[in-house]
Amino acid sequence: MSVYLSVVIPAFNEKENLERGVLEPMLAFLKKQAYTWEVIISDDGSTDGSTDLLQVLADQHTQVRILKNPHRGKAATVTSGMLKASGSWRLFTDFDQSTPISEVTRLFERANKGIDIIIGSREMVGARRDKEPWYRHLMGRGFNLVVQLIAVPGILDTQCGFKLFSAEATERLFPKLYVYGENAKFKDAFTGAFDVELLFLALQNGFSIREVPITWHHVHTNRVSPIKDSIRMFRDILKIRVASAAGKYSRSR
């Protein structure tokens, strides 16, 4: 039976989140849906024993698969999961479920109108940001202004980790990643401008993109360094523009 929705979740040392049961509400929601689905948890070389817990989860749920990857960072881990997925639609979302899986219903409203890529937005009218520290919001707004000026005009929130791609968009865009492509390696949990490069490629290749307001709950993490990460992200946006000017994205892949 063909899969309608693939949910791809990158994982890196998620033992604490697993012990809190963050994935159970997601599975409960999916089991109530009329469409076919699968969950692919793409692990980024975890070292905290969480892969064993993930395997237990997969053994309990036949529609859950675990991909074990060497540690190369979130971009490579998401890419691995998205390209191994088989769904007509493929959603990547954060392990901590800061955006509840139920918000995919809002995204599907656009998908059913012929849009190729539908992304959750925390900045649109109707969105809700719950318990977000002011400095995180300020950092995000500043980053987005730079993104719109340099790479992806018109997108209010490139960084929300809740994005739905058609199978065609997935299979054409992810292999074209260059800055965050197959040779990129990150030693930490840095997310960076991975989403920006994807959306930049989508616009270059004529795919339609729509933002949809979603509900997003801030989940505290020590993986974000506001100053250091902002500098690294700005650097990578410039790399995307340089790669484009050098014709890196026009080469067949």
Within a domain: 34: yes
Is the pLDDT at 102 greater than 70, yes or no? Answer: yes
**pLDDT tens profile 193-213:** 899 999 999 999 999 999 999
Residue 187, pLDDT score = 61
Within a domain: 233: yes
Is the pLDDT at 131 greater than 70, yes or no? Answer: no
Asked if 154 and 199 touch (Cβ cutoff 8 Å), the reply is no
Is the pLDDT at 140 greater than 90, yes or no? Answer: no
Within a domain: 102: yes
User: What's the farthest any 2 CA atoms get from each other in the chain?
Assistant: 49
**pLDDT tens profile 146-192:** 777 788 888 988 888 899 999 999 999 999 999 998 777 666 555 67
Within a domain: 181: yes
Within a domain: 253: no
Within a domain: 118: yes
CATH value at residue 69: 3.90.550.10
Q: What is the CA 181 to chain-centroid distance, rounded? A: 15
Is the pLDDT at 35 greater than 90, yes or no? Answer: yes
Residue 152, pLDDT score = 87
Within a domain: 89: yes
Domain enclosing residue 162, as ranges: 5-245
In whole angstroms, what is the distance from residue 155 CA to residue 149 CA?
Answer: 11
Within a domain: 251: no
Strands (E) located in the chain? 5-11, 37-44, 64-69, 89-93, 117-121, 128-130, 162-166, 209-213, 215-217
State the total domains in the chain: 1
**pLDDT tens profile 51-70:** 999 999 999 999 999 999 99
